Amino acid sequence: MSSPRPASPLVGARVLRDLVASATPPVLLDVRWALSTGSDRAAFDDGHIPGARFIDLDAELAGPPGPGGRHPLPSAGAFGESMRAAGVGRGSTVVAYDAGPATAAARVWWLLRHFGHEDVLVLDGGLAGWRAQGYPAESSGDGTESGLPAPRGDFRCGPAPSAGPGSALEAEDVPAFTARGLLIDARAAERFRGDAEPVDPVAGHIPGAVNRPTTDNVRDDGTFLPAEELRRQFGALFDGIGSGPDELAAYCGSGITAAHEVLALQIAGIPARLYPGSWSHWITDPARPVATGDR
């Protein structure tokens, strides 16, 4: 963990405004979504950052729910087609955003990294932060450019990385991983303990995991905590980054909010993997153990 810290995967609203106005603007992906209501195309149509394209998380950033969990990874073919249709090219800078805390935008960030595209950023504070600066928004019905089909990009899925952001941890590797590394459960504490489970049919957590909800990653305004504060908080999970495990990974209910945890770790300069199927996949096999309580 002593390697040089990578550049931040975040971009602020003021910097993004300048990028949008530049000669080579980024591809903007609006991925507003909530667990309780799903993808929010109506909110996008009502107002979005000029030039942004809407991405449906349930339909384009996940495969069909089933044995792989509630939000399994999309196929490379399906994901690549969605990105090309949104205008993403092999040389594109991509900026993803959602309503605010980046819970859904982190999924785009992680998937693009997973499929070999590293030039991707997340708007810190999301659309709420953009609007707080007084920057303009447009609606899909006002005759502006984003109401027209996006120019197709030439994005192609590449090989997934073997470590760090974009790398996946598979279920069969979880037991060995927890023996040598740190597996972080990004759900709310009551779901980790098994006190309540509003979504999945089994309550509890993966044995050996530790709990750190994604809500701890951000301030009240939806922007991320400073890198040094995130590094301090994550380090406290295993008595300091320097003496901690060599590998970290995160999971959640279905692999969405865990990407937010991996993003927060990356901001802190700590590479981590994602268990894409997460809890909703883990419990599809009754032979896999389940733990409850605080540990």
Task: Quote the tokens at residue 264.
Answer: 């927060």
Q: Are 168 and 275 in contact (CB under 8 A)?
A: yes
Cα separation of 60 and 48, whole Å? 19
Beta-carbon contacts of 192 under 8 Å, excluding residues fewer than 6 positions away, are: 185, 205, 209, 211
Report the SS3 class of residue 44: helix
Beta-carbon contacts of 177 under 8 Å, excluding residues fewer than 6 positions away, are: 169, 183, 247, 249
| Residue 252 annotated in active site | yes
Element holding 231 (H helix, E strand): helix 227-236
| Amino acid of residue 12 | G
Cα separation of 152 and 238, whole Å? 46
| Amino acid of residue 148 | L
Beta-carbon contacts of 258 under 8 Å, excluding residues fewer than 6 positions away, are: 186, 214, 250, 251, 252, 274, 275, 278
Residue 65: other Cβ atoms inside 10 A: 13
Of 104, 252, 259, 263, which one is the catalytic site residue? 252
Of the CA atoms within 13 Å of residue 274, those in its CB half-sphere come to 31
Task: Quote the tokens at residue 214.
Answer: 């994604």
Q: Are 203 and 195 in contact (CB under 8 A)?
A: yes
Of the CA atoms within 13 Å of residue 121, those in its CB half-sphere come to 21
Residues taking part in catalysis = 252
